[in-house]
Structure formats: C-alpha cells, structure tokens
Structure 1
C-alpha cells in the first residue's frame, strides 16, 4: 500500500461548544482521565517541542507528572538538550496524541524551573532504579558504548546499596504555564472539531477553529 493511500474515517463523535468545561485545565483533566480509563498505552506521554539558538525546532516524548491550574510538569536532566534550549528560550509546545480516542491536545506556554522542594518530593517518590539512572546518565551527551552507561549504573547501585540517594543538582522539573490549549476531536469527512482556549490574564477565551 502506498503511503498516500493510508487513511481512515473518524467516527467516534464530535465535540460541541456546549460540551466544553469553562476552564481548559478541567477539560484536560476530563480527557486525560478518559484516556486512562480507556487503557491507552502511555496516556501521559507528551511531545515537548523546543527551539535552539539558531531557530531549529526539536521534539521528544516525555511523561507528564503533574497538572493543575499552575501548569503542566515534567522532569529532566538540566544538562539535556531540551533543558539547555529552554534556558535560552522558555517558550515551548506540548502535544498529547490520543489516537484511539481520535483526540489531540496541543498546548503552548512558557517553561519555568520547579523549586528544589518539589524536585526533592518527586525524586524521592521514584523507584530506586530510576533515581540511579538519573545520576548515571549525562543526558544528551555522546557516549562510546552502552556498556559505559551500564557500568556507571552498577557503580552507583553498589555505592547507594544501603542508603538514600541524594537528589542530583543537575536534575529537576519544569512547569509549563499554558498560554493556549487546543482540543481536537476527529470528525467524519475530515470535518474535525477544534476549540482553542487562549489566556487573557486569568480568564480564557474560547474560539472554534476550522479543521
């Protein structure tokens, strides 16, 4: 089959203005819970798009770890490419693709580092293996072989075998304060439903967009 022949009809139902909650975070929480209830794989997986100093965009998938009225939170190594690009330009884009529900959510906003207290709280809740991996991996740096990474992991595992693992200074979270949130629901004949929430100070304006 040719690539341009691959298509399907979207028929799970539309999205109407009357069905939307007034606050987009509440609407997101509703859709996220429905994605979880539908047993989707990695329902909290989101694409994070950043831009480097030359204007080149980069994307990668991370896991959402918290969402509330303040924004969307994920954690990373501050030496990673995404963290370095955020340090240069805090404007980022998030994307949640819930394909089997024929839904997408797109978010634009500004990234801010979390305070150390929140980093400690989350780091302490992680499995020990994840804690060790956060220290062992100098994210985005070039390595000669996987064995180098595995050796560092085993070294740290022995070092902290009987003790608590300290939160590394080069690791922590970002909170994306949203400026816009778009909800996309697939529709028949490619007449998709799109609603864009745009922030106006502490209020949200809602517009229907053409598909």
Structure 2
C-alpha cells in the first residue's frame, strides 16, 4: 500500500470531519487522527477486511475530539463525547439515525481493549490503528515503507507529551472512564517507547 493509492472519501460528512478536526486539534493531534485512518486502511488490507470507508474515515478523524477543550464533557468519557460530536456532524450531512449511531459506536469502541472484527469491523480497525499509533502494537503487519511514508507525511510532533497530558487530565477528573485504564496501563511509557517515534531517525 502507498499513499498515492489512497484518497479520502469525497462526501459532505468526510469533508466536514476533516474541517472540524483541523479547526480544533493541535497539529500533533491532527496528524495522529489522520495516521490512525491510514493505519486502519493498512490493517484492513493486511487482514482482508472490507470496511465502510466513509464511516471509518469520519470516525477516525473525530475519535479524539472529546479531549479538546471545546468538546470536553465534564461527565462523559472522552471517546463517548467525541462519538456524540460525530452524531451531530453526520446528522447535518444527512446520515440516517442508524448510521449516525454506528459512528458513535466505532469511536467509543476504539478505546476498548479489543474489538472482534466480526462484531464491528470499523471499530476493530480503529482500535487496532490507534493502538499502533499510541503504543506501537502490531507494527510489523504493515510494511516498513508504508510506515515511513505515513510518518513523513504526518509527523508525530509532540503527540507523546500532548496525549499523555490530556489523558492524565481525563483520568483524574473522570476516574471511572477508559482514560484511567489507559493511564494505569502505562500510556505515558508506551508513547515514549513507541518505535514509531524513532522510525525516521538515521
């Protein structure tokens, strides 16, 4: 797989998702969500899965909006809050109710420890792709050339420091949510030691 072979869905929902992600995310977080989409496509090809590409793209671009101050909910988990943003955005793009709910489900499930692809293929791919971008999990399933190409196009920047700070803040304020599990599971160390951080060195 090469970046030249990949194009984002050309739909109103996809364009709106990119516009909102660009407006509200820092450069490092914006690159993270775009890499997450590309890693998801790579895993789909490697695992022989056929996702709904528009649903996957929109969910990937919006999945971390709940840690952005403008969308940070004082009670809901950040992935749940982001899912509700997706519902509102896709409603404006004319998605039917069931499809809007799917966007919420995919975003919420990206923070599950594991998602069975037979249960939710898009949730599985977003969970797998974000695990790669945060902790380096299953990196060898994707070609080295593809990983390098994605990182050159969308550098990691300050993701490790920014994401760690955001998730720690969420865990303190909302200790019953997945953010607490991520922090207790060593997300700071995983980000710091992620081999993607050093892949382009040398």
TM-score band, normalised by shorter chain: under 0.3
- Name the larger-Rg structure: 1
More helix by share: 2
Normalising by structure 1, we get a TM-score of 0.26
Normalising by structure 2, we get a TM-score of 0.27
More strand by share: 1
